[in-house]
Every structure is written in structure tokens, then in C-alpha cells.
């Protein structure tokens, strides 16, 4: 998979995050964790978008690594929402699988790019 696929997956994920944020605010009256989730979950795609316009390999790698870190943070917030029973197991499993898939893609991209720089 290339960065184009990762970008598209992260954008679809961001849409899900926005919808989850609305649900948490409107139905669960949860505003603090949901805001953190909204920021980190939508930041993934924003950083991938910036990486795709990078001026150098180093710039590209830095932006992709930021996207990876935002994805890891998003995973944390989702786990916390599940652990505090603001998301049930089915809701959690539905979205965490997408998050972890994107995280694996970003990990692969950053590792491949780093190794390419060493050659």
C-alpha cells in the first residue's frame, strides 16, 4: 500500500472520528476525552496530507512520524473510552481496528522511508 491509500483510509477514519465525537457529546454528554479524540483522530490525515506535499524525504518522514504518533494517541483515547464504558465493546472494536490498521501502515511507511535514507 502506498501513501495514497493511507491518506484515503485516514480521511475515512477522520469522518468516523467526527461522527463519534458528535455521538459522545450529544448522547453521552462526554466533552473532555471526546475533544482529545477529535484532535488526535483528525490530525492523522492532516499530517499525511502535509507529508504528501513534503519538500524533502526528511520532511516527509517527520510528518509521517507525527501522523503515527497521533494515531497512537488516538488508540489510547479509544481504549480509555472503552475502559470507562463510554463505548461498548462492539463500538470499540468497530473503530479500533481501523485505527490499528492505519497505525501499522504508518509504521511500515516510516520504517521503509528510514531504511531508504540509509542506503
pLDDT digits (tens, 9 = 90+) for 25-67: 999 999 999 999 999 999 999 999 999 999 999 999 999 999 9
What is d(CA 116, CA 18) in angstroms, rounded to the nearest whole number?
35
Q: With the C-alpha atoms ordered 60, 61, 63, 67, is the resulting torsion angle positive or negative?
A: positive
Is residue 70 pLDDT above 50, yes or no? yes
Q: Collect all residues with Cβ–Cβ distance below 8 Å to 14 and sequence separation of at least 6.
A: 41, 42, 44, 45
The distance of Cα 52 from the centroid of its chain, to the nearest Å, equals 16
d(Cα 25, Cα 115) in Å, to the nearest integer? 43
41 in helix, strand or coil?
A: helix
Return the percentage of the chain with pLDDT > 90, whole number.
Answer: 93
Helix, strand, coil distribution of the chain in percent, nearest 5:
85, 0, 15
Note the pLDDT of residue 7. 96
Quote the mean pLDDT of the chain.
95
pLDDT at 28: 96
Q: Given this model, what pLDDT does residue 2 score?
A: 47
Amino acid at each position: 500500500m502506498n501513501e495514497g491509500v493511507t491518506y484515503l483510509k485516514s480521511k475515512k477514519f477522520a469522518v468516523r472520528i467526527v461522527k463519534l465525537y458528535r455521538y459522545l457529546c450529544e448522547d453521552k454528554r462526554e466533552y473532555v476525552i471526546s475533544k482529545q479524540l477529535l484532535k488526535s483522530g483528525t490530525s492523522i490525515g492532516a499530517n499525511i496530507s502535509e507529508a504528501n506535499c513534503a519538500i524533502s524525504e526528511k520532511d516527509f518522514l517527520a510528518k509521517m512520524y507525527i501522523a503515527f504518533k497521533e494515531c497512537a494517541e488516538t488508540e489510547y483515547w479509544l481504549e480509555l473510552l472503552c475502559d470507562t464504558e463510554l463505548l461498548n465493546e462492539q463500538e470499540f472494536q468497530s473503530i479500533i481496528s481501523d485505527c490499528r490498521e492505519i497505525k501499522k501502515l504508518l509504521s511500515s511507511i516510516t520504517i521503509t522511508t528510514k531504511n531508504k535514507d540509509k542506503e
